[in-house]
Amino acid sequence: MTLIMLLNSARSPKYDVRVGSTAECPPTQATDPQSGASKTCLVDRFGRFHDYLRISITDRCNFRCTYCMPEKGVKWKPRDEILTFEEIVQLVTFFAKKGVRKLRITGGEPTIRHGYIDLIRELRTNPAIEELALTTNGSRLSKDAPFLKEAGLSSINVSLDTLRADRFEAITRRSELELVLKGIEFSQAHDIPTKVNVVMMPGVNDDEIIDFVHFASSKCITVRFIEFMPFLNNNWSSCSVLSSSKIREIIGKEFQLQALDGYPSDVAREYSIPGSAGRIAFVSSVTESFCGGCSRLRLTADGELKSCLFLPPAVSLRDILRYNGTDDELEQAVATCLAGKWAGHPPMRDWAQRDHLTMVQIGG
Ligand code: SF4
């Protein structure tokens, strides 16, 4: 499909969102009301409008989580292959003109990249960006939280798969549970909306489900149970998944969770815990996929663009920048990337790895 055909298809009634597979998505405008720039390069052939860009700013991490990378780590990218902060700002300026409204800074572990708070402060000056979030392992939060608040960060997701020190060490190959818990406390104390991401792994941490509900309730925080997903070299199999419905069943024996309204593009389904400000959420990519309302694009640390978590990168935006390419060339590349996006990931029971990147290289 050529770019012109794609542009035409995005606007033609045949692909009008109201009749496509994503009927619940809001109608897509051809131009951005703020900048007047065309937004078609962010609309895929199913009418999904991609206004959420996840940016990995490093492929390095100070933890060694077993489901993310091998003990000895992965071969880090040479520094000169990694996007500079100037290049990230340039790309965000381009995407914001096209209609991106939400950014999430990820890694590897983004907080270990020197100057990342300055980058957040800089990106926050873009008036088109409504939300700027961070995903972190929390090891630096107790130090950085006040500066992140001042830099204008909207929210933080902290990855924490256990509340037990021994198990924390077994999963992350680090003994920093107390530091992470302190980081969560500091983030909340500095009034940064904070959530906790828990990758549920049967036989590893599934006996802590109720403990995490109590944690959410006592800390007035949202705990998100994430189904274990397949990434390169993480020994995933469909039987290593504890489904969200099963987790809800386990919780339902002790708590009457109340479902909360959400948006089609939300990845998590949220529930309130009666009598507490805490919440529980489920990210069910494996058993209850939410691809129909997908609004996400991903930029790897070396500037490659992915249309889906599970599809390989399609284009290098870094290379276009480095040969002084134009916005039109960036737009062409983004449209080409989205032209290859599927309606949704196939059933996981017969999963085939399509991406040559590990989770630490994608940023989740
Ligand atoms: S699996 Fe891919 S298409 Fe589906 S929600 Fe995730 S990123 Fe979007």
Show the DSSP H helices in the chain as ranges: 3-11, 85-98, 116-123, 141-151, 165-172, 177-189, 209-219, 244-252, 317-322, 327-339, 359-362
Task: Give the Cα separation of 201 and 156 in Å (integer).
Answer: 23
Task: Among 309, 341, 353, name the best residue to mutate to test ligand 1's pocket (greatest count of ligand atoms within 8 A of Cβ).
Answer: 309
Q: Which of 147-156, 229-238, 267-276 has maximum average pLDDT?
A: 147-156
Q: Which atom of ligand 1 is the closest one to the Cα of 343?
A: 3
DSSP string, 309-330: TTS---EEHHHHHHTT--HHHH
Stretch 85-106: mean pLDDT: 97
Q: Does the structure show a pLDDT above 50 at 224? A: yes
Q: Is residue 76 part of a domain?
A: yes
Task: Give the Cα separation of 259 and 266 in Å (integer).
Answer: 14
Q: Does the structure show a pLDDT above 90 at 328? A: yes
The pLDDT score that the predictor gives to residue 310 is 92
Q: Which atom of ligand 1 is the closest one to the Cα of 311?
A: 2
pLDDT band at 283 (very low <50, low <70, confident <90, very high): very high
Task: Give the Cα separation of 211 and 292 in Å (integer).
Answer: 33
Task: Please name the amino acid found at residue 219.
Answer: K
Q: Does the structure show a pLDDT above 90 at 1? A: no
pTM: 0.88
* pLDDT tens, position by position, 144-185: 999 999 999 999 999 999 999 999 999 999 999 999 999 999
Q: Name the least confident of 6-10, 36-40, 56-60, 127-131.
A: 6-10
Please count the structural domains in the chain. Answer: 1
User: Which residues form the domain of 258?
Assistant: 49-341+352-362
The pLDDT score that the predictor gives to residue 5 is 43
Q: Is residue 77 part of a domain?
A: yes
Stretch 230-248: mean pLDDT: 90
pLDDT band at 264 (very low <50, low <70, confident <90, very high): low
Stretch 305-328: mean pLDDT: 95
Q: Is residue 20 part of a domain?
A: no
The protein residue whose alpha carbon is closest to atom 2 in ligand 1 is 308
* pLDDT tens, position by position, 301-310: 999 999 999 9
| 8 A C-beta contact, residue 172 and residue 63 | yes
Task: Give the Cα separation of 119 and 86 in Å (integer).
Answer: 9
Q: Is residue 32 part of a domain?
A: no
CA of 143 to the centre of ligand 1 (A): 33
CA of 309 to the centre of ligand 1 (A): 6
Q: Is residue 160 part of a domain?
A: yes
Q: Does the structure show a pLDDT above 50 at 295? A: yes
The pLDDT score that the predictor gives to residue 3 is 38
pLDDT band at 261 (very low <50, low <70, confident <90, very high): confident
Give the mean pLDDT of the chain.
88
- Return all residues near 293 (Cβ < 8 A) that are at least 6 apart: 22, 24, 25, 48, 263, 264, 265, 266
Stretch 120-146: mean pLDDT: 98
The protein residue whose alpha carbon is closest to atom 5 in ligand 1 is 291
Stretch 15-34: mean pLDDT: 43
Domain of residue 247, CATH code: 3.20.20.70
- Joined tokens for residue 57: 């700013």
Q: Is residue 245 part of a domain?
A: yes
Q: Is residue 23 part of a domain?
A: no
